[in-house]
Structure formats: C-alpha cells, structure tokens
Amino acid sequence: MGQLFAVEVIYRGVFQKTLAKNIRRGIVLAARNEGKLGISFGRYGDSPERNGIPAKGFSIVANDEQTLEAGMAEYASKQVDLTVVLDDTLCKGVESWAWYGLQPVHSTLKPGHTLIVVSLQDAPTLLKSIHRREQPYKLGIVKGAASFSGMWVYKDDHTDVRILGAIAKVLPELFSLESAEKFINEKLKSSLKAASARTEFERFATVDVKAGQGNPEELFKFDLPDWKDMRGGVSIKGQPQGGPYADPVTKQAGGFRPVRNELFKKYPTRTMRPAVNFATCIKCTQCWLNCPDAAFDVTPEGTYDPNLESCCGCGICAEVCPVKNCITMVNESEFHGNDSQWAEFRKGKDAYLKRLETIIQKAEPIEKRSNGFRYRGQYQEQIPVALEIAKKG
C-alpha cells in the first residue's frame, strides 16, 4: 500500500457549494501533475446541502490505484491530513443536522496537522470559537471574508486558488506550488490566479495550538436509542404548546414561549444573527409572524426575543421590522453563546444597549455579508473589494 492523503473541505451548503467543488477538484488535478491519482466527492447524508447547512466534501489522493480504492471505500474519511474551513462561523461546530449532534470542526484532523480557515480574524479570536481537543494541531488563516454565492452563481474572488497556495505550503507532500500553478495556468488559464496562489504560498503561516487550548464549551450531543428503546409502530413524539415564563428581574410570569424539540437545533446554520434593541420595539408582531422557524418568544413585556438555538439567521425579521435599527443582522462571529438577549436587556438595560451599539458598529453590515443572490451583478461588484483584501492579506 502506498501513501494516502485525505483533505476535508467544510462549507456552507448551497452558498459555497461551487467554491468547495472547485477547491476539491483543484487539489486532485494539482496532485495529478505529480503523477498521483485522486478523486473528489461531496458527502450527502444526514447533512443535506440546504441553505447554510454545514456540509463536507473530500479530496482523496494516493500514489497508486490500490491505495486510492482503499481510501474511496470509506463513506467519509475518519482521519484527514488537512481540514479547510471556508467560513469562520463554522468554527463553532458542524453537522448540526446529523445524527450525532454538534461536532468540533477539527474532529477528524490528524494530530499535528493543519486546520485552514478563511477569516478576517486572528488566531486568538478564532480559538474562542474552535473547541478544545486532546491532541495538538496547527491553525492557519487565509485572510479574507467568507465567499458566499447562490445556487446558480459563483463569486470568482480567487479564494479557490489562494487555498491551493496555502495547501502547497503546509502539505508539500500532496502537491507543490509548481504543480498548483501548472493546474491554474493550464486548466483555469489565468496568470493572475496563479500569482494569487503564489502570493498566498509565500505569506501563509501557521500557529501551534496546544492540547486543551480553545473553546471549553461542551458540545451539544445526544445518544441514539437502541432498537429495544424505540416505540412500536410509526409515531412522532408530540410537543406541548408551551406557555408563559418568568421575567428574570420581577419573576412575574407572562408572554409566551413555545416548547421546542430538544434535539433539533438550527444555530450552526447561521452566519449572521439578529441583534434586537428592545428599547425601540413597538410590539408590531411582524418579526414573530414572519419568522419561518417560529424562533421568537413573546416576552412578558410584550416584545419579541429570538430563541438563538432555533434561529437560522435568515434575516427576514430585520427586513420586515418597520423600526430602523430595532433588529440588525450582525456577524455571528461577534458572539460565543446563544443566551437570551431579552434576559440580558432586563438585567441591565444601559449595559446591553451600549454593547449592542458597539457590536453593530464593529460587525459587518448585511450588505457586505449576504448569503444569497440579492440582485443581478452583486457578486461582480463585491469581487474588487475581496481581491483587495486578498492582496493586502
């Protein structure tokens, strides 16, 4: 048996599907320039590629056909030589809709190997989201905003070739920079993209992450029932309707909070979250009525508090809210938990509003971090800005 390489690419379903496919394809064809064999494939299972769903794809490369076939026999690689994360908000965990709950973003990465993240943040900030593990690894950052497109469009901002340049730097056994440049020049026919790959290769660096370093949060998980524990026949567990709940300050009950499925969490699909200014809420009900996931609780005060474990970050609430800046969509990476915003507001209104103002000023506005195709020509307008970020690094 020869040497086998496995690269895992983690991306946002639909929004980054074409980008991930192009990266996986580039890995295989760059390695082919060195006489290696390979295949790239997406994994479809309990994490289908719906809007924003964390999804995975793999590139398997080997020195000979027998080794490649052995690697292809696995449904998903249990250990990978390299993990690439195309959106830094995925660092909070992936596979929200799989059978096993939330998984660390580096769960399959071999000890001592590299996790590459596309982000504008630095390593210490990212490690506030990336969960701890018992084995050390390396963290490298490709500087850039998350490259989101829609289902039928592609945002050609050089993220794909920059990733290839970074891979050539940290895993030269897989393919060299020269092999990556040959693929880019011959298949993509772009000397500018080849220059982007070389620039990333020259400046890409990693930091060592020690065992136990990172986010100490306990990941959401649950155990599958044994066949002896399953109910007879075909049945679906019913949910109670819910009811009033207590104000954290006065302890008086009021409002309405529905009972939600304890095993169904949507927050890992979110790249942005609604930040609510309860002081300006006019109680018009529009966010509550229009939320496709029924993610809002009616507070005892009559305002509306997003349940951040159920919110997928679609932004509809911010679009329908008639009050300017009452609901603002902000970058998910600004937060490290899903606690109730209204409870925080009730415990200290002035402190909450001051923090909210700071977050809104600091976070990227929705126009710069949109998940879908909002108008014709949008991505062509964004590409020069993305390329400038890539150039500066």
Give the residue ranges of the chain where pLDDT is below 70.
Answer: 1, 44-49, 75-76, 96-100, 234, 363-376, 393
pLDDT at 45: 47
- Can you count the helices (H) and strands (E) in the chain? 11, 13
pLDDT at 126: 96
Domain with CATH 3.40.920.10 in the chain: 4-222
Helix (H) / strand (E) containing 201: helix 191-203
- Are the beta carbons of 96 and 269 closer than 8 angstroms? yes
pLDDT at 365: 52
CATH code linked to domain 4-222: 3.40.920.10
- Smallest CA-to-CA distance from 51 within 373, 364, 291 is with 373
How many residues in total does the chain contain? Answer: 393
Domain with CATH 3.30.70.20 in the chain: 240-262+272-368
**Whole-number Cα distances in Å, 62 to 119, 236, 244, 344:** 30, 46, 59, 53
pLDDT at 367: 52
CATH class of the domain defined by 240-262+272-368: alpha beta
pLDDT at 298: 97
DSSP category for residue 226: P
Prediction pTM value = 0.88
Q: Are strands 206-209 and 243-246 parallel, antiparallel or unpaired?
A: unpaired
